[in-house]
Every structure is written in C-alpha cells, then in structure tokens.
Amino acid sequence: MTTQAAPKPALKPNLPARPRAFSGIQPSGITHLGNDLGAIRNYVALQNKGVAEGFETIYCIVDYHALTSSHDAEALRQRTIEMGASLIALGLDPDKCTLFVQSDRPEVTELCWLFNTVTPVGWLQRTPTYKEKRQTQPDDVNHGLLTYPVLQAADIVIYKASLVPVGKDQAAHLELSREIVRAFNARYGETFPEPQAVYTDAPVVLGTDGARKMSKSVGNTIEILAEPDVIRKQVMGMVTDTLRIMRTDPGHPEACNVCQMHRFFGTDHEQIWDGERTARTGCVDTKKLLAERIIEHYAPARETYHRLMADPAELRRTLGKGAERIRPIAEATMTEVRERMGLR
Ligand code: ATP
Ligand code: MG
C-alpha cells in the first residue's frame, strides 16, 4: 500500500475588501502640466472617492527609480521635498491618502528581487522606456534601467493595489506589471491582484515642442507651480499650428497643441478654435490667453506650494508618517510572500 501525502491546503489570497489605488511619481524635476492633466488629477479624484467609498489610496515619490538617471544626492533630497509639496498643493491630503517616499519603505526592494526571479530578461529588454534610455544616456545603461518595471510592479502590489492612475506612457510598464503578477501567481499561488491603469481624459499631453510627450527629463515642460513669468515664457515658446504660415492663414485647432490645451482651461475652447479657424485670432493671442489661464488656475496651488516649502522639515516628517502608516501592509505582504516561496 502506498501512502500519499495529504495535499497542502491552498493558501487563500489575502486581498483587500475594496480595490486599493497606488501610483508613483519621480522626484526628477518640477511638476508639469502633463503630470497634472495626465495623472495627478486622478490621484486626487481617487483619493476623494476612496474617502467616500472606503478604500485606501497610496501615493509614492519614487526616489529609488530616480537613481537610475541621477546620482546627485543633494538634488534628489531637495526634489523629493519639492514633489511632496507639489502633490499636496495640487490636492493630495496626507490625512485622506497615504503619501510617502519610496526609500522610506524598503521592503519593496526585497519584493523586487523576488519578482526578478519570475521575470524573463526578454520582457524587460523589450520595454520601450529601456530602449529609449539606452539612447538618451548611453554612458550609464545601469541595471536599474532594465529592472525598473520590476520595481514598479513591486511598488504597486506590495500594497495589494490594483487601481493605478497614470498617463498613457505607462501603459507598457503596467502591462508588464500584470505579466509579472501572473507569473508569480501561477508559480506560487494567487497572491496579488492584477494592476489596471486608470486614465484621465488627457492621457498624453504633448510638450512645448508639440512633438514629444511633455516630460521632466526632456525639458519640454510647462511648470505649473513656477512663477508666472516662467510659465509665460514656456507657453509663449510653444510650437503651435505648423500648417499656418501667415497670420491671415486659417488655423487648424485640431493639430495645434495650444488649442488642445485650451480644452482644460475654461469652457470656451470652441469659440477659441473658431477664432483660429477663421484667422480672427493669431497663435500669439491664443498662447497669451492660455498662459494667463494656466497661471490663474494654479494660483492657489502655487501659494500652498510656497507655504509648504517654507518648512521643509515639517513636510519631510509628514512624508515619513505616511511610510509608517503603511508599514503593516508591506510587512504582512512580505511575510505572506516568503511563506509562499518557502523562505523562512
Ligand atoms: P521623467 O521624464 O523623469 O520620466 P515625467 O515627466 O515622465 O518624468 P513621471 O514622474 O515619470 O514624469 O510621471 C508621473 C506621472 O505623470 C505618470 O503617471 C506619468 O504617466 C504621468 N505623465 C508624465 N508625463 C505625462 C504627459 N506628458 N501626459 C500625460 N501623463 C503624463
Ligand atoms: Mg516618466
């Protein structure tokens, strides 16, 4: 007679009762219009929905990620504080959501390593951002650039989050996060939810060059919390309707980045577009108006930003408290993961 070992009881996935939201932003420069229209507006909307409906929202300033491109420690610390102030100024409330600095919760690096072991290198080599960074920083193709999406997957799911407010540029990374989670769940049992992107109605905001995505590292940004004159200069430098040569030529608002941005500031963009089409208004007029509207729209946030930046130590404490608040979630996930993987 052969004796068979009794099958191990399947571990139940320890998932939150309501889906959690998580997103990360790099402290790689000053917050720009693309960040706000494409992502931060949704951070705030989900934060408020979370309060009303009883789910957690967690936002992270991803300084580990920023290290793949910058090694200036002083600048990184400064930008981390500035990003914290920007996010609060733009509507995050540390009492309603958890706002923290990635390196304050280092458990995520352990999860990243464990995820590395279920992630084929080929998946990472195909990532568009990795291919792009190999071109833009050929002298510093560090391993972190390759592993970046694995750490991103760990960032999200260590908190068992599944709603991820991001811009469209993150679509490929999120797809990879889902694949990594599936690979882990298939090998070790259902542990993590699959993350889903949550987009705004402006998932890709073009930069002032009118060609590439607005991006801190490209430098084609409109820095929404900067001084009014900086914003004026950035907006006035925007590439507009390239088909319109003379002031008297009819404009093409659908192909003009400035006209498109008017959709988010005021309710009269149809009239503005009509003025362009009929050449009643010129590109310069439309840009001037846009600059003033952006300045006005972000005036209260700019004020809050400066108030918060006047006491950086207090701000850093607030961010530190956020990391403490979610310590139990990160620790519980790691205990569960180690158990599933047969460690300890
Ligand atoms: P970097 O150039 O350093 O990558 P970034 O400007 O792309 O910086 P991130 O910190 O990478 O900013 O992105 C923060 C969030 O803002 C992400 O969710 C990203 O998808 C979103 N985002 C960034 N740029 C845009 C844009 N131009 N349009 C829409 N969403 C954007
Ligand atoms: Mg980016």
Lining residues, ligand 1, CB within 6 Å: 25-26, 28, 34-35, 38-39, 166-167, 169-170, 203-205, 213-217
3-state secondary structure of 239: coil
Closest ligand to 165 CA?
1
Residue of the CA atom closest to atom 6 of ligand 1: 215
pLDDT score of 174 more than 60: yes
Nearest to 159 by CA among 340, 335, 330: 330
Give catalytic residue positions: 133, 213, 216
Looking at every residue in the chain, the average pLDDT score rounds to 94
Q: How remote is the CA of residue 267 from the centroid of ligand 2, in Å?
A: 29
Q: How remote is the CA of residue 38 from the centroid of ligand 1, in Å?
A: 8
Pocket test for ligand 1, best of 208, 215, 223 (most atoms within 8 A of CB): 215
User: Under a CB-based contact definition with an 8 Å cutoff, are residues 88 and 43 in contact?
Assistant: no
At 283-312, the pLDDT tens digits run: 899 999 999 999 999 999 999 999 999 999
Nearest to 178 by CA among 198, 197, 155, 194: 194
% of the chain residues with pLDDT over 90: 85
Query: What pLDDT does 307 receive?
Result: 98
